[in-house]
Structure 1
Amino acid sequence: MTRLTSDGDGVDRRRFLAATGGLGVAGLAGCMGTESDDEDDDADGGSSIGQIGSGRAGRDAPGGTSMSEMPDLSGELTVYSGRGEFLVGELVTYIEELYDDFELNVRYGGATDLVNTITNEGEGSRADVFYSVNAGSLGALADAGRTQSLSEDVTGMVRSEFTTEQWIGTSGRARTVPFNTDSLSESGIPDDIMAFPDEFDGDLGWAPSYGSCQAFVTAMRIIEGEEATREWVESVVESGITPYNNEFAACQGIADGEIDAAFTNHYYIQRVLDGNPEASIDTAFTSGDAGAVFNVAGAAVVDTASDATLAENFVRHLLSAEAQDYFARSTFEYPLIPDVEPVGNLPTIDELDVPDIDLTELSDLEATIDLMRDAGAEV
């Protein structure tokens, strides 16, 4: 595999397989500034689905469609990835090494920056696939006319709300209210995000400079309106909410007893518990509001793809049983195919009360940042 630098030159990237075969997510959790080639034989001597990355004891082999049942990948492909190498590098390396005649080049960067890069590169862009951390960037690239339609064979692999003709979600994350189980019970957490902080008895935390938190406030602007959102931000700031650099740190602060609850994505709670299963933290959910948004990472085939079929088949591999299980076990995200379950004591996607909003609108962060600053948040 070649890792592309910011100026487009190819340099050899270090391989993850030998170093990360036993990698635990406790290590991953300490690297929030960013985001194996094993196939075990079963007792009968047959081959089970290979599970990539750090294992989870007692977890069965995933359901869904195995990579072995998908079209072979052959040729050269360039992926512009807005997902961090530390989070997905092992997975894309695994996919490349399944095929002798497949060469994968990956350029890592911020999702918004890569959208701008593809747009500025025009018809000369090297990108075949854009892999994004969120739906907003996927929508922005599609709105710029820089994506190709995906086949129904691919879009039909996930629920309709997680795909369009131009892009498809590959894993998901739910907004939650993590809380300290020593000081609170779930019944003490309001199920309406707008009830905070007035109807909550405890110390709150958040990460206002973090993109996920800003997307959460953006969802509130869309659902509740500008004025109600401004009043909400002012009220939580006035309540003395504790700011953290990122949402993992906020969840760790809950487990350490620094605060009682916070506003974060669900997987940060699971990462704290992975490092310490006895940590005093659990997950609560609000209902049908900005605190319950479900966003997706996903992929699109770029309009400049030299081989659109190869590009789409790579995207299909991100929805394979192995890849979906990797997201569940190694990044603690929600898998988007129904035959793979998330890790942790979490409700299914069907059981979540998710608001009906256009996820691509969550990329409108500039107005949100201005609002948060005006309301006194440390952004």
Structure 2
Amino acid sequence: MRSRPLLTAVAGLTVLATTLTGCGAFGGGSADLQIYSARHYDLEGAFGEFTDETGISVEFISGDDAELLERLKAEGDDTPADVFMTVDAGNLWNGARQGELAATDSAVLRDAVPEDLRESDGRWYGLALRARTVTYNPDAVDPSEFDAVETYAGLADPKWKGRLCMRDATSAYTQSLVASLIELHGRERALEIVQGWVANDVAIMSNDVLLLEAIDAGTCDVGINNHYYLARLLEENPDLDVDLFWASQEGAGTHVNISGAGVVEGADNPEDALRLIEWLATDGQNAFVDANHEYPVNPSVEPEPLIAGFGDFKRMPLNAEAYGTFNAEAVDLLAEAGYR
């Protein structure tokens, strides 16, 4: 067990505690496992099933990735957390780099999780896959207008001027997409792409749902969304006037990210923590991903019917290190380009 000295900034811990969004418990009494989770949706069903099947009780505390990672660092060896769960590969990489996640050896997870969706020393594993791709209003756009090789870069073409909606620069989704463009094209070309979006008078939205509603209403013609937000809205309204285009299928593939988890370094119950992660990647895959319309990372598990209807797609290989190491550069690049 490594040494993680407690921080003396009690006031900082108080601030962190007030920003967390609540907790849930399954199994009653004192929980066997404590989960710090930045994944705020659809945990109850999966964790409840795990408790029913194994008898291992689970409690989780929710917050955003940065808050929870700072909490782990502040608590040091006294942390009650057994599992750290995030919604961005860069944050998982960062947690491992800072020594907050333990190396594990699991043949189950090596078989269940593709190599680029897990850390080589088993410090974290992807559990749910989300694709960030192009969405559009079919009344205003013919999909033949999209560049099938470099779809994201193609939105910098002046023909899209006044037609684009995208997420804000503070979104982890935006930052990881831009980080992937830096890795793929280099900083200079990535800057040109983002400057092209800005030159096209991109309308900035604070969340993906508003973005999709704007496309449906005809406020803009094209956006970039996580696929599951579209699935959620289609579940509520099958007549939604928004279609999905799989980006860059003749090029690098569609940008993807993950929800994933790792065993906390110095966890009180590392064996059951790893057992939970193994279950979520195998028997519990559908329970974990289906309600939120995410893709299973496990290739032997079928996606739920609504997103299966989106069709197969080639995904861009995920490079968590790039998402993490290029994050600060992506933030600077967005600012330099004037992207809000």
TM (norm. structure 1) is 0.74
Match of 2:311 among 318, 341, 347: 347
Q: Does 1:171 align with 2:128?
A: yes
Q: Deviations over 1:292-350 (max 9, x none)?
A: 212111111112112221111111221244x32234431111111222224322233xx
> Which residue in the other structure is 2:260 paired with?
298
**CA distance change for structure 1 residues 15 and 302 in 2, over 3 Å: closer, same or farther?**
closer
1:123-202 map, 5 Å: 123-146=77-100, 147-164=102-119, 165-191=122-148, 192=150, 193-198=152-157, 200-201=159-160
> Which residue in the other structure is 1:57 paired with?
none
1:102-113 map, 5 Å: 102-113=56-67
**CA distance change for structure 1 residues 303 and 314 in 2, over 3 Å: closer, same or farther?**
same
Q: Is the 8 Å Cα contact of residues 175 and 293 (structure 1) preserved in structure 2? A: yes
CA distance in 1, matches of 2:93, 2:328: 16
1:36-115 map, 5 Å: 76-84=32-40, 86-98=41-53, 101-115=55-69
**CA distance change for structure 1 residues 75 and 374 in 2, over 3 Å: closer, same or farther?**
closer
The structure with the largest helix share of the pair is: 2
> Which residue in the other structure is 2:248 paired with?
287
1:185-224 map, 5 Å: 185-191=142-148, 192=150, 193-198=152-157, 200-201=159-160, 203-208=163-168, 209-224=170-185
CA distance in 2, matches of 1:145, 1:93: 30
CA distance in 2, matches of 1:180, 1:139: 36
1:268-347 map, 5 Å: 268-287=229-248, 292-321=254-283, 323-337=284-298, 338-342=300-304, 343-344=306-307, 345-347=309-311
Sequence identity of aligned pairs in percent? 24
How far the C-alpha of 1:199 sits from its partner, in A, is 6.4
Q: Is the 8 Å Cα contact of residues 150 and 312 (structure 1) preserved in structure 2? A: no
CA distance in 1, matches of 2:202, 2:323: 23
How far the C-alpha of 1:107 sits from its partner, in A, is 1.6
CA distance in 1, matches of 2:253, 2:315: 10
Q: Is the 8 Å Cα contact of residues 24 and 60 (structure 2) preserved in structure 1? A: no
Amino acid at match of 1:175: R
CA distance in 2, matches of 1:305, 1:162: 23
How far the C-alpha of 1:117 sits from its partner, in A, is 2.1
CA distance in 2, matches of 1:137, 1:195: 28
CA distance in 1, matches of 2:23, 2:79: 21
How far the C-alpha of 1:173 sits from its partner, in A, is 0.7
How far the C-alpha of 1:79 sits from its partner, in A, is 0.8
Helix, strand or coil at the partner of 1:170: strand
Helix, strand or coil at the partner of 2:32: strand
Q: Deviations over 1:170-219 (max 9, x none)?
A: 10011210011111232222221222231645611101232211211121
Amino acid at match of 1:103: S
Q: Is the 8 Å Cα contact of residues 25 and 59 (structure 2) preserved in structure 1? A: no
> Which residue in the other structure is 1:40 paired with?
none
Q: Deviations over 1:41-92 (max 9, x none)?
A: xxxxxxxxxxxxxxxxxxxxxxxxxxxxxxxxx97111111111x4323432
Question: Structure 1 stretches of 5 or more lacking a match?
Answer: 17-73
> Which residue in the other structure is 1:49 paired with?
none
Task: Compute the RMSD of aligned alpha carbons.
Answer: 2.7
Amino acid at match of 1:187: S
Amino acid at match of 1:76: D
Amino acid at match of 1:206: M
CA distance in 2, matches of 1:372, 1:12: 32
Q: Deviations over 1:83-117 (max 9, x none)?
A: 11x43234324433555x53322121111222232
Q: Is the 8 Å Cα contact of residues 171 and 298 (structure 1) preserved in structure 2? A: yes
CA distance in 2, matches of 1:150, 1:190: 42
CA distance in 1, matches of 2:202, 2:24: 41
Q: Is the 8 Å Cα contact of residues 138 and 360 (structure 1) preserved in structure 2? A: no
Q: Does 1:375 align with 2:337?
A: yes
Question: Structure 2 stretches of 5 or more lacking a match?
Answer: 1-14
Equivalent pairs counted in the alignment come to 309
Q: Is the 8 Å Cα contact of residues 273 and 279 (structure 1) preserved in structure 2? A: yes
CA distance in 2, matches of 1:14, 1:362: 30
Q: Is the 8 Å Cα contact of residues 279 and 285 (structure 2) preserved in structure 1? A: no
Q: Is the 8 Å Cα contact of residues 6 and 107 (structure 1) preserved in structure 2? A: no
How far the C-alpha of 1:158 sits from its partner, in A, is 1.9
